[in-house]
Every structure is written in structure tokens, then in C-alpha cells.
A and B are shown apart, each in its own frame.
Chain A
Amino acid sequence: MPSGGVHSRDSAAPGPTHTSTVYAKALGSKITEQKIIVDELSNLKKNRKVYKQQQNSHIFFLEDRIKMFSESKNTLDKLRKDYQALENSETLGRE
């Protein structure tokens, strides 16, 4: 039985939030989420199966563990970049 199911529900990039603070908040939470996912995947035994939930449904598709790991890593990087950009813009705006 696959014990370690990875539910990456929010893998897609978040829609642009309108207030910068709200957007930053959402971004931050997503980053932490993604961090956990990456951490879990990295610590997973090799014979484990990884399922990914189809968005907005209850079906879980069997995915390749390594593939998912790399994917989630990429997403995390992307999110971090976004967050950085947002912070930069805010600091610039204040100045």
C-alpha cells in the first residue's frame, strides 16, 4: 500500500492577489507548503508510491516519485523567486 501520498493541490501558480500584503501572505504559506512537500519527498523510501491528486477532485493519479520530487522543487524555486520579487517591489515602493 502506498503510505506516502503526496497531495500537491496547490502546485499551480496562485492567481495574482490584489493587495500586495495579501499576495505576500498567500505566497509565504505556499512556500512553506512546498518546502514540506519537498522535504517529505526527499525523505521517502525508494519503493514508495507517490500519488498526486487531480485538482478539484478526489482522484489520485500514480506518479513517479523522482519526477514529483523534481517538480515540487521547481515549484518551490519559482515561488521563492516570486516572493523575492514582491518583497523587492515593496521595498522600492516604500523608498
Chain B
Amino acid sequence: MEDFLCQLGFSFSDLAWGILETPIPSTYRKSHILDMTRLRDEADPRISSLVSLSLCSPSTMKERSRSPLTPITMMFILSRAKHTWVEPSETESVVTNCQEKIQHWEKVDNDYSALQERLRTLPDKLSYDIMVPFGPLAFMPGKLVHTNEVTVLLGDNWFAKCSAKQAVGLVEHRKEHVRKTIDDFKKVLKNFESRVEFTEDLQKMSDAAGDFVDIREEIKSDFEFKGKQRIAHKPHSKPKTSDIFEAEFENGIKPQGTFDDDELWARLEELERQEELLGELKSKPDTVIANGEDTVSSEEEKEDEDTGVNVVSPVTDSSAPSSCKRHGGNAGLPNGQTSSLNYSVNGSNSYHSNKEDEEEEEEEDEDDDEEDDDDESDHAVSADNSIPTIYFSHTVEPKRVRINTGKNTTLKFSEKKEEAKRKRKSGAASHSAHELPAIRSPADIYRVFVDVVNGEYIPRKSILKSRSRENSVCSDTSESSAADVDIDRRAPLRSPSSEETEAGSSTLEELQENHPKKPLPSGVSEAFSGTVIEKEFLSPSLAPHSAIAHHALPTIPERKEVLSEASEEPAKRVSKFRAARLQQRN
């Protein structure tokens, strides 16, 4: 009974109110309302449920349906019950199941009573003429003797030898058990039968009374639900990104946008120079730098970077303006000088310069010196044509594309240390410039939100997630975003050279992992190199903005190709830069 009510999901109060609110003949109402009010006062839900049991047990329900309880009340109860009502078919199956079981047990009981009867009369005679079963099909006549001796199966192939009378006692005991079981089943059966009847009655009532409408609320299907979710997701994500954008602007980088473009231009040039250098180095065998040394040095670098980050990170907020000033100060220095200058600064701030770095740098410097003539001439030309510098965006864009395509995950930055360093330097100088152009397409947004996991850049699945804020290169402040861009820029450059060993590359990866934070300090205090200077020289012009977009788009596919063909990249790149430049000049 109790569980019946539970399954119905009636709370007592529901029932009570359902009945109270409906017009009931006064005699009927009185007694029940009294009951209910008394019960309502009791806070204990168990008690209330018990009471409701007494009020609304299936049998009483049934009675009520015939009693003057109004149809409305019944309908109310029905509608309440429908939510938790066990399916009629289910109850019916339970009923039939019970019936079957009861039948079985009654047969057992019957058998036992027959056995008991036989045992009772067995000792009456000394012997019985019987047909002895000889297998399932054959019989032979025989005599049953020792009529007062029986062996009783106790279970599990254990037998007890006893007299017929004792056996009768045992049978009686078993019959008791059987009867108990039958009673239990009968109870269950009665319960469910009444339930079935109850529903049937209600159905009859609802059928008979056509005036009453069954109020149903249909549950929406899963399909609709899914659709809704999708729709909800998209609009959400967009506004957020836009918010972030605004935040960046607010940080005051916007005014520097023009400035940055110039910087970018300068950097671009530097990159070009690097690539030329790279080409030379390539021919020169990079393997000259031993793998072991390489790795060590890169590791050291990494450590250095870490320290650098720790030291300088607090200054980040004020970095943007200061960096600008620095640019101004450095302006006009030739490349070689800037590099040396840069190193000295690094050394003082954080132990950035290791021996190897220096050595390599020296090598580079030499190379630079050799090439300086060409470069400088190039610079001069470019300076004249600085306005079309659009290139910057061009270089940046493809890199972003790479990261978006998930190249980061599989990417091994097998690049020379020197290159990395240069990028760091030059990147730091120009990083602030990238913020405005940084996010031009939806893809760029994902670029900004990149998580660094185990030294790899893993684009976030959702921009909305603020997960791993510490690790992420997410751009809360303008600087951090700038740093991110910086990283992006470097990644593609490093990837191309397959000459370096994997060990070196892996360490470089780690290095990059730390990068996101590093560029800030370097940018602020140390790392500004000749690139900045060039920028100052080159670009008082703000024109590049418009051009950037145009150049960027077509170049992207080419970049992708480069990705696939890592070994051929350096040459391609150089040609690209050159080509771009030529274009601009024209």
C-alpha cells in the first residue's frame, strides 16, 4: 500500500487540496477534511504519506469512484497520478506473473498434501502392491515393504531416514513455507489487481464523462533540445571575443597602431635578412653546431627566459610606452651594433646570453657583416618604399593560419638558435604593433587563445573557456596578446629548417613554451634591436594598414605548402620576401 502511494507520487497535501477544492457532498467532505487538516498540521512527511495511504489506498480509491466523490476530484487525482503512474501494461504483467507463481506454488502445496496423505496411510499396511517405475516408460510389479521407513530429501542430496509420521511432520513444515509464499504472492497480486482496476475505473469515468478534458503537457523531444543548444552556443561565443578586442584597445595600444606598423615593416626586413642568412647557413652546414651543444644551449636559454620572465613580468603594464621610447633611442644604429647592444642589455637584466649564444651570435654577426652591404642597400630601398610595407601583415597571417590548422601540435620547431634569438629580439620590438591587425578573421581569435601544454601550442576548443589561464597565451592585457603574436611569428620561421636534430628542436619547443611570457620583458627592457631603429627611420607613414589585408590573403596558401615541404622552405621564403618587396616597390 505504501509503495503504491509512493509510485503514484501523491503527496498528501496534493490529495487533500485536490479534494478540498472540489465540491463534495457535505457528509463526505466533513469527515475527510477533518482528517486532512489534522494531517496537514503534522510536519512529518512520513506520517502524512501514511495518512494519505489510509485515505487513498487503491481500495478506497475504488470505493470513492463509486462514492459521491465528484468526477472533478477524480480527474484531479488522475492527472496528478499520471506523471508517476506505472504503465498499465506493466502492472498487468506483474499481475499475470503473480498469478502464474501462485499457481505453481499451489500445485506444490497440492503435491505436498497428497504426499502427506499418503504418508499418513502408508504405515496402515505392512506391504503394498505397486508398479515400480523402471525408467520413464517401463514398470514392473513390485511390493512396497518397510512402510514405516522413509528417507526424506533434506536438500543438496542429503537424506534423513525417518518414520512415516516424522515425514508427515516434515511435510507439514514445508507446507507452511509454501503457504506463506502463496500468501505473499496473493498480497502482491491483490495490490496490483486493485491498481489495475483503479486505472480501469478511472478510464471508464473519463470515457463516460466527455465534458472533462485531460490536460497534458507534452515533453519536448530531444531533437528540438539539441537544436536549441546549438543556436545558443554560437551567439555566445562571438560577443565574448569582441569584448576581448575592446579590452585590448582600452589598454592604450590603439594609438600605437601606426607606430607598430612601422615596426612591423622593420621587422619584416630583418626577417628577410635572416632568411638570406639562413640560406647561407644552410649551405654552410648547420650541423657545425653540434646537436648536444645545441640542446644544452637551448635549455639554458629556456631557463634564462624563465628567470627573465619572473623578473620583468610585473613591469608589463607600462611596457608599451617604454618600448616605444626605446625604439626611438635605438633608432639609427646599424644591425651589428644593435645586436651587440641588445646582448649587453640581456646580460645585465637576466642571464640571457650564454657562451654559445654569443658565439653563434658572433657567427651571425660575421654573416651579417658580410651581408650587411646588401641588406643595407635593401633597407635603404625599402625605407624609401616603406609605405607599402604591407608585408608585415602578410608574414604574420600565414603563421596564424598554421597555428589554426593545428600545426602547433605536430610542429617541431627545428630551427637554429640564432634565428630564435633574432626573432625574440625583433619580435619583442614589434610585438605591440600586431595587436590591431592581429585579429582580423575568426581564425585569428583562436590564435590569440592558445594554450601551451607540454611545450606545444594547442588551440583552445572554446574561446569562452577560461581554463588554464596561467598557461594560456590568452590576451588579457595588450602585452600578453602581443607576446602571443610574437610567438606565432616565430613558430613558422623555425619550422622550416629540418637540418637541426630532433633533440634540439624539442628543447626549442620548450623554449617556445616559455616564450609567451618572455617577450614582454625582453621587449620592455632588453631585447630591442636594430629592427626598432629601422622602423623609426622607415615609417612615419601609416599607409601600410590598408595594404596589409590585401597581401595577407593570397599568401596564405603558399605558406601552407611551405608547411608540407619543410626542407625546401628557406629558399622559398627568401624568394617570397623578395618577391613581395619587389611588388611593393612597383
Contact = CB atoms under 8 A, between A and B. Distances in A.
Partners in one complex: yes
Interface stretch (B19-27, B125-133, B149-157, B509-517): B125-133
A51 B109 CA distance: 23
Nearest to B112: A56
B110 A54 contact: no
Residue with the greatest number of chain B CB neighbours at <10 A, chosen from A2, A51, A59: A59
Interface in A66-94: none
Contact of A61 (B109, B111, B130, B133): B130
Contact of A54 (B99, B118, B129): B118
B113 interface: yes
A15 B110 contact: yes
B130 A60 contact: yes
A1 B106 CA distance: 36
Contact of B133 (A12, A15, A58): A58
A71 B139 CA distance: 24
Contacts of A42: none
Nearest to A17: B103
Contact of B131 (A17, A18, A59): A59
Interface in A1-24: 1-2, 5, 12, 15, 17-19
Interface string B168-192: 0000000000000000000001000
A56 B133 contact: no
Given A18-B189, A55-B115, A12 B110 contact: yes
A82 to B, nearest CB: 16
A55 B109 CA distance: 12
A1 B141 CA distance: 9
Given A55-B115, A56-B115, A62-B128, A18 B107 contact: no
Residue with the greatest number of chain B CB neighbours at <10 A, chosen from A1, A17, A61: A61
Nearest to B105: A15
Nearest to B113: A12
Contacts, number: 51
A contact patch SS: loop
A59 B133 contact: yes
A62 B110 CA distance: 21
Contacts of A61: 128-130, 144
B102 A59 contact: no
A25 to B, nearest CB: 13
Contact of A15 (B103, B128, B139, B144): B103
B114 interface: yes
B195 to A, nearest CB: 15
Give the bracket for the number of chain A residues in contact with chain B.
10 to 19
Nearest to B186: A18
Contacts of A60: 130-131, 133, 139
A52 to B, nearest CB: 10
Nearest to B111: A56
Nearest to B134: A58
B contact patch SS: helix
Interface string A15-49: 10111000000000000000000000000000000
Contacts of B144: 59, 61
A1 B110 CA distance: 31
Nearest to A54: B118
Given A15-B107, A18-B99, A60-B139, A55 B114 contact: yes
A57 to B, nearest CB: 8
A20 B379 CA distance: 108
B114 A12 contact: yes
Given A12-B113, A55-B110, A55-B111, A5 B118 contact: no
B475 to A, nearest CB: 77
Contacts of B106: 15
A55 B114 CA distance: 7
Nearest to B95: A18
Nearest to B135: A58
A61 B132 CA distance: 9
A54 B131 contact: no
Contacts of B132: 59
A5 B102 CA distance: 31
Contacts of B130: 51, 59-62
A4 B76 CA distance: 67
A12 B128 CA distance: 22
Contacts of B136: 58
A62 B129 contact: yes
A42 B315 CA distance: 120
Nearest to B128: A61
Given A15-B103, A17-B103, A62-B129, A56 B114 contact: yes
Interface in B80-122: 99, 102-103, 106-107, 109-111, 113-115, 118
Contacts of A54: 114-115, 118
A56 B114 CA distance: 9
Nearest to B129: A62
B131 A5 contact: yes
Nearest to A13: B110
Nearest to B110: A12
A61 B131 CA distance: 6
Given A59-B131, A60-B131, 20 more contacts: A2-B131, A5-B131, A12-B110, A12-B113, A15-B103, A15-B109, A18-B189, A18-B193, A51-B131, A54-B115, A55-B110, A55-B111, A55-B115, A56-B111, A58-B133, A59-B130, A60-B130, A60-B133, A62-B129, A62-B130
The 6 closest A-B pairs by CB, nearest first: A15-B106, A58-B133, A60-B131, A62-B129, A55-B114, A56-B111
Interface of A: 1-2, 5, 12, 15, 17-19, 51, 54-56, 58-62
Interface of B: 99, 102-103, 106-107, 109-111, 113-115, 118, 128-133, 136, 139, 141, 144, 189, 193
25 contacts: A2-B141, A5-B131, A12-B110, A12-B113, A12-B114, A15-B102, A15-B106, A15-B107, A17-B103, A18-B102, A18-B189, A18-B193, A51-B130, A55-B111, A55-B114, A55-B115, A58-B133, A59-B130, A59-B131, A59-B132, A59-B133, A59-B144, A60-B131, A62-B129, A62-B131
